[in-house]
Amino acid sequence: MTSSYSNSPCAACKFLRRKCNQDCIFAPYFPPEEPHKFANVHKVFGASNVSKILNEVLPHQREDTVNSLAYEAEARIKDPVYGCVGFISGLQRQLLGLQKELDATNADLIQFTIQGSSSLGLGHVDHSHDFYNYPSNFEQ
């Protein structure tokens, strides 16, 4: 038997038990040695929807598309209720927590600046307005 890697059907065609042609849209992104990648996206999105999305984007965007679909699919399989939306909520919580911590630290810093400069006899140095200029587009 002389079958080589290049003659192997891609993971998608193997999974779907169909012939893998040279123009197979899945082949470049679903190599036979990663069967779970296709199984996951197939389970969550369906092969037909994945194929539709791949045909909708530009060829150079297909790898990123497949990777983001595989990421979402894996997250949904691990957490059927929230999928990767659970990560988004977690990150948003972390961001809010960090922003609060930063605000508190900046408030301490301002306090130090006011106390430090007045006791140094240098008069009032006003940087305070800069500290609060956080972009308002942090929270979504």
**Site for a copy of itself, rule CB under 8 A:** 43-46, 48-49, 53, 56-57, 61, 64-65, 68-69, 71-72, 76, 80-88, 91-92, 94-95, 98-99, 101-102, 105-106, 108-109, 112-113, 115-116, 119-125, 127-128, 130-132, 135, 137-140
**Tokens of residue 51, six digits:** 């194929």
Report the C-alpha gap between 70 and 129 in whole angstroms.
Answer: 45
Report the C-alpha gap between 2 and 128 in whole angstroms.
Answer: 74
**Tokens of residue 20, six digits:** 């893998």
Beta carbon of residue 31, minimum distance to a copy of itself (angstroms, whole number):
20
User: Whose Cβ is closer to a copy of itself: residue 21's or residue 98's?
Assistant: 98
Beta carbon of residue 1, minimum distance to a copy of itself (angstroms, whole number):
37
Beta carbon of residue 78, minimum distance to a copy of itself (angstroms, whole number):
12
Report the C-alpha gap between 51 and 53 in whole angstroms.
Answer: 6
Contact of 36 with 12, CB cutoff 8 Å: no
User: Whose Cβ is closer to a copy of itself: residue 20's or residue 69's?
Assistant: 69
User: Whose Cβ is closer to a copy of itself: residue 3's or residue 140's?
Assistant: 140
Beta carbon of residue 7, minimum distance to a copy of itself (angstroms, whole number):
31
Closest C-alpha to 45, from 5, 23, 75, 90: 75
**Tokens of residue 63, six digits:** 């790898």
Beta carbon of residue 119, minimum distance to a copy of itself (angstroms, whole number):
6
Query: Rounded to 5 degrees, what are φ and ψ at 116?
Result: -65, -50
User: Whose Cβ is closer to a copy of itself: residue 33's or residue 130's?
Assistant: 130
